[in-house]
Amino acid sequence: MIKFNKYNVTNGTDKAKISYSLDNRTDGRICVTIYAKDYDRSLGRIFSDEYTNNSDSMTDYFEKGRVVLFEDHPLYAAARAQAEAVQKAWSIKMEARREVRRSVFGTPAF
């Protein structure tokens, strides 16, 4: 069973540090993209079929890997719910910082 947390994804044995992104495709398809934060490929052990890593050692291009879950994937709803919760918490945190800046510096919102 795969569990989506705020900063990681786990299947009970492997744990991968991650970040979420919502609907970031150029073709407009609705999806949740999960990016690995480490090079240890633990996200690949959790999502063996969906995992993508386009690293190329010949050109010194290294990436950490990602998983893209579309609406027809069985884990999409759980991933989407957690990604939206993370995004909402981030928005609240940033708005609080803006309010502090407004009160201290007396500047309008930016």
The pLDDT of residue 68 is 95
Contact call for residues 36 and 65 (beta carbons, < 8 A): yes
Determine what percent of the chain is predicted with pLDDT higher than 90: 66
Q: What's the pTM?
A: 0.82
Write out pLDDT tens, residues 65-94. Answer: 999 999 999 999 999 999 999 999 999 999
Determine what percent of the chain is predicted with pLDDT higher than 70: 96
Calculated CA dihedral for residues 56, 60, 65, 69, nearest 10 degrees: -60
Q: What is the full DSSP assignment across 90-105? A: HHHHHHHHHHHHHHHH
Tell me how crowded residue 80 is: count the other CB atoms within 10 A of its CB: 20
Strand-strand pairing, 8-10 and 31-36: unpaired
